[in-house]
Amino acid sequence: MTPIEDHQIAAAIGEPLIADVVSAFYRRVPQDDILGPMYPPDDMDGAANRLTSFLIFRFGGSQGYLQERGHPRLRVRHAPFEINQAARDRWFELMDAAIGECQVPEPAASVMRRFLATTASFLMNSK
């Protein structure tokens, strides 16, 4: 298995598979007792589109996110939401399940999981 960097994921697995992972994640969110209330139901599609665009950009694909939204400013964009350990863990749990459901191949799956776990921890703003 040849190692890859996070910026090589889009080329390795394709942008459609990244979009599929995000779709699988967002299918789980509305029913989730921790994350569901954090997402406005009338903007679920918008949230999914933003995350898809961000991950494609971050994983080395299209630059559409930058063109539409500019610098990610993840901490600023997530500041209105209380992200504690439970929320962080659940977000990662649902993303991990989505990666598994979509059968993202190795080594891309491990690289994605590492990035997502680190980013989820970075966004924590509450105990």
Distance of alpha carbon 53 from alpha carbon 66, whole angstroms:
9
Indicate the fold that domain 14-122 takes in CATH: Globin-like (1.10.490)
The pLDDT tens digits for 5-55 are: 999 999 999 999 999 999 999 999 999 999 999 988 889 999 999 999 999
Q: What is the pTM of this model?
A: 0.91
Domain spans in the chain, listed from the N-terminal domain onward:
14-122
Please, are residues 20 and 108 in contact by the beta-carbon 8 Å criterion? Answer: no
Residue type, 15: E
Rg (CA), the chain: 14
Q: For the CA atoms of 18, 34, 75, 106, what is the dihedral angle to 10 degrees?
A: -30
The pLDDT tens digits for 100-119 are: 999 999 999 999 999 999 99
Q: Which pair of tokens denotes residue 103?
A: 């059968």
